[in-house]
Amino acid sequence: MDIVRIGLDLAKTVFQVHGVGSDDRTVLRKTLRRDAVVPFFADLPPCLVGMEACSGSHYWARVLSELGHEVRLISPQFVAPYVKSNKNDRNDAEAICEAVSRPSMRFVPQKSPGQLEIQAVHRIRQRLISDRTRLVNQIRGLLAEHGVVIARDISRLRQALRQIVDGCRRDDGVPDMIRELVIETREELGELDKRIASFNSRIRVLFRSNEACQRIGRIEGIGPITATALVAAAGDQSCFRNGREFAAWLGLVPRQRSSGGKARLFGISKRGDRYLRTLMIHGARAVLGKAHGKTDARSLWIGRLRERRHPNVVAVALANKNARIIWSVLARNEEYDPTRGAAVG
């Protein structure tokens, strides 16, 4: 068979394959079990294989690349417009095959095993933090039903729990059953704190052992957590032509609804990974809090911007600037120079 391009719809056990020839006519439609995927592609001559970026896609991209095929990952939202008629696995494979042939299509960079390892650490840490937040909110809600109102600051909650457990607040009207539950939830909260601290230590070790993380970690507002998360998600900067594309990939550029030659810009697009964008903006907020009174070009630029814009807008603008600097440092394999282009607004 003269196959030049294949659309592969991934699944747990049943995979759909759609192949076209050099004249773009369909020459292959096949259903494969999971254990038959590698033998099938090993017998094919090298061709272009398109897949949706989903769970397991980076593994299959690595496996098929080792067999000599050129693999490209596509975001599912860019495949959807090419689905004809009803949606099913076979039509999805055909749509992937069509989408991967578009010269203007945007592709997802493939992640190495090292990147996936770092990303796994962040994903588990993020889940633990979410669990801790839910637990804290639940404790505050239960105590509020008995007249004990605690501020949202987690340190205030820990202090109140310590007082309840130590018996310093016997006159607070908390029933004995609720007091016993509070003791149990305090132990659970302490266990979550220990696990999160363990993952923070692991991230610091990864940060110190990665040269790219070390370079971007010198940028104000980029710490070990942000640096390792960025390198894990987008370590290969060759897929971005410039820093603005990288900032747009993070969702840090204005959203547009322009028409008739009239530009209409709104808030940031919020595309991409919300976790990365949140880390970038929180890091920028930390820089804003320490910029007052400094005389370097970067702090002066922040001061001028704060005079005319809301602090939230300034934080996003600084996060956008940091994203462009990160792209430059990683793509050009250079060290961060705080004086270079710091005054450019």
Nearest in space to 95 (alpha carbons), one of 40, 56, 50: 50
Lowest mean pLDDT, pick from 14-18, 88-92, 192-196, 239-243: 239-243
Sign of CA dihedral 320, 322, 328, 333: negative
The percentage of the chain sitting over the pLDDT mark of 90, rounded to a whole number, equals 65
Q: CA 241 to CA 212: how far, in whole Å?
A: 19
pLDDT of residue 230 exceeding 90, the answer is yes
Q: CA 110 to CA 112: how far, in whole Å?
A: 7
User: For residue 240, what pLDDT band results from cuts at 50, 70 and 90?
Assistant: confident
Q: CA 95 to CA 51: how far, in whole Å?
A: 10
Section 96-110 average pLDDT: 92
Tell me the per-residue pLDDT of 272-304, one tens digit each, with 9 for 90 and over.
889 999 999 999 999 998 888 888 888 889 999
Which parts of 167-223 fold into alpha helices (H)? 176-209, 211-216
pLDDT averaged over every residue in the chain: 90
Nearest in space to 181 (alpha carbons), one of 193, 196, 164: 164
The percentage of the chain sitting over the pLDDT mark of 70, rounded to a whole number, equals 96
Q: What is the pTM of this model?
A: 0.86
Determine the pLDDT at residue 85.
Answer: 84
DSSP secondary structure, 273-324, as one string:
-HHHHHHHHHHHHHHHHHHTT--SHHHHHHHHHHHHS-HHHHHHHHHHHHHH
Determine the pLDDT at residue 345.
Answer: 47
Question: Residue 129 is encoded by which pair of tokens?
Answer: 């933090």
Nearest in space to 229 (alpha carbons), one of 208, 251, 207, 244: 207
Cβ neighbour number for residue 113 with a 10 Å cutoff: 9
Task: Write down the residue that tokens 């940028």 correspond to.
Answer: 219
Cβ neighbour number for residue 236 with a 10 Å cutoff: 14
Determine the pLDDT at residue 163.
Answer: 84
Section 137-164 average pLDDT: 89
Residue 344, class by beta-carbon neighbours within 10 Å (0-12 exposed, 13-18 middle, 19+ buried)?
exposed
Section 212-226 average pLDDT: 94
Tell me the per-residue pLDDT of 56-81, one tens digit each, with 9 for 90 and over.
999 999 999 999 999 999 999 999 99
Lowest mean pLDDT, pick from 35-39, 107-111, 275-279, 341-345: 341-345
Q: CA 318 to CA 345: how far, in whole Å?
A: 10
Q: How many residues does the chain have?
A: 345
Task: Write down the residue that tokens 């939230």 correspond to.
Answer: 312
Section 43-48 average pLDDT: 94
Cα 75 from chain centroid (whole Å):
14
Tell me the per-residue pLDDT of 298-324, one tens digit each, with 9 for 90 and over.
888 999 999 999 999 999 999 999 999
147 versus 89: the higher-pLDDT residue is 89
pLDDT of residue 146 exceeding 90, the answer is no
User: For residue 259, what pLDDT band results from cuts at 50, 70 and 90?
Assistant: confident
9 phi and psi angles, rounded to 5 deg: -90, 115
Half-sphere exposure of 9 (CA within 13 A, CB side): 23
Q: CA 139 to CA 126: how far, in whole Å?
A: 20
pLDDT of residue 343 exceeding 60, the answer is no
